[in-house]
Amino acid sequence: MSQRLRANALLVLWALICSFVAGCDREPESREVTPLTGAIMGTEYLIKVIDLPEQFTLMQLDGDIAQLLRGIDASMSTYRDDSELSKFNAAKTTEWVAVSEDVVEVVEHALETSRITGGAFDITVGPLVNLWGFGPDQHPDRVPTEDQIQAEKARAGYQYIHVRKEPPALKKDKEDIYLDLSALAKGYAVDQVADYLESLGIADYMVEIGGELRLSGRNERGMPWRIAVERPTPGVRDIFNVMQLESNGVATSGDYRNYFEQDGQRYSHTIHPRTGKPIDHRLASVTVIAERCMHADAMATALMVLGADEGLALAREQGLAAYLIVKSADGFIAKSTESFEQYLDTNEP
């Protein structure tokens, strides 16, 4: 599964995408844009607020959002030894370990996603991600032995994790279980920022963290947000298609940014829980649109693990709006669920 240091901006997030995409020939409206940028969770974020209410200041907004994101990072990071998640991973116990409500919410959603995807999504494969060199140490340059893979697989299994809401706590059946929430924590953070903006009465915004998105209302031109799906070609930034969105969470998972090569073979950062090895199929990227970004984030990862045929079948079964780009002899072909088609922009490049 893609418990990943996923490359930023798998969705192409040019600041004014209409400047790059045909079909945007109307004059922009005079709407004020308040941009906020920063770094968190090992990546960068970009937030656009349209027509910030006058009772709020940029300094207040920036401070509140930064504090919110720091809190999530302090709870869920695997890069910080003092995070709640790292402390849970380090605890050699099978007793309940107290955590925050935020951590419980994310882990609970992860376990539900594991169940509906038949284990294609699994937050316990972190040791395998680390073994292949895509974890916090970031040394993706070696192929582990089969014995090493099987040893780390023996530690994994979402069924060994339990959640308690009152009081909030986590429990593991094996002392050496290791959780990695990177496949949905950014999506959760996006949702939290979006919910905060809506609590202030802000209706038009874009929140992007490390390529995960949530959009609401209209952009600065008074039009629906237009977001490009990137062509999944290593080393190239190009538009493959364009979405038109107004109130959606969006996430993309792909295998073309974070990988290493050895003896002519490419090894993706996306690890399949069933094999303990990087995925090996022709699906290059998956984009999922959902009401909540966390759900889109988790499901994009699961579909990427499953591959084009099995992934598309699951997306249809779950009623997901999903867009899959598949490698072919002639380049790439797109497959999508029927519910995704409504979001494709007819003015695509």
Residue ranges of domains in the chain:
11-74+184-343, 80-172
Copy the structure tokens of residue 244. Answer: 């038109």
Could you say which residues of the chain have pLDDT below 50?
1-27, 349
Looking at domain 11-74+184-343, its CATH class is alpha beta
Q: Report how far apart, in Å, the C-alpha atoms of 32 and of each of 48, 55, 206, 245, 318 are.
A: 10, 15, 14, 20, 39
Q: What is the pLDDT of residue 279?
A: 86
Cα separation, 10 vs 66, whole angstroms: 23
Cα separation, 344 vs 226, whole angstroms: 10
Residue type, 328: S
Q: What is the pLDDT of residue 7?
A: 38
Per DSSP, the three-state class of 274 is coil
Q: What is the pLDDT of residue 260?
A: 54
Copy the structure tokens of residue 144. Answer: 């582990």
Q: What is the pLDDT of residue 347?
A: 65
Q: What is the CATH number of domain 80-172?
A: 1.10.3980.10
Nearest to 211, CA basis, from 255, 259, 251, 258:
251
Cα separation, 11 vs 240, whole angstroms: 10
Q: What is the pLDDT of residue 264?
A: 59
Cα separation, 244 vs 343, whole angstroms: 5
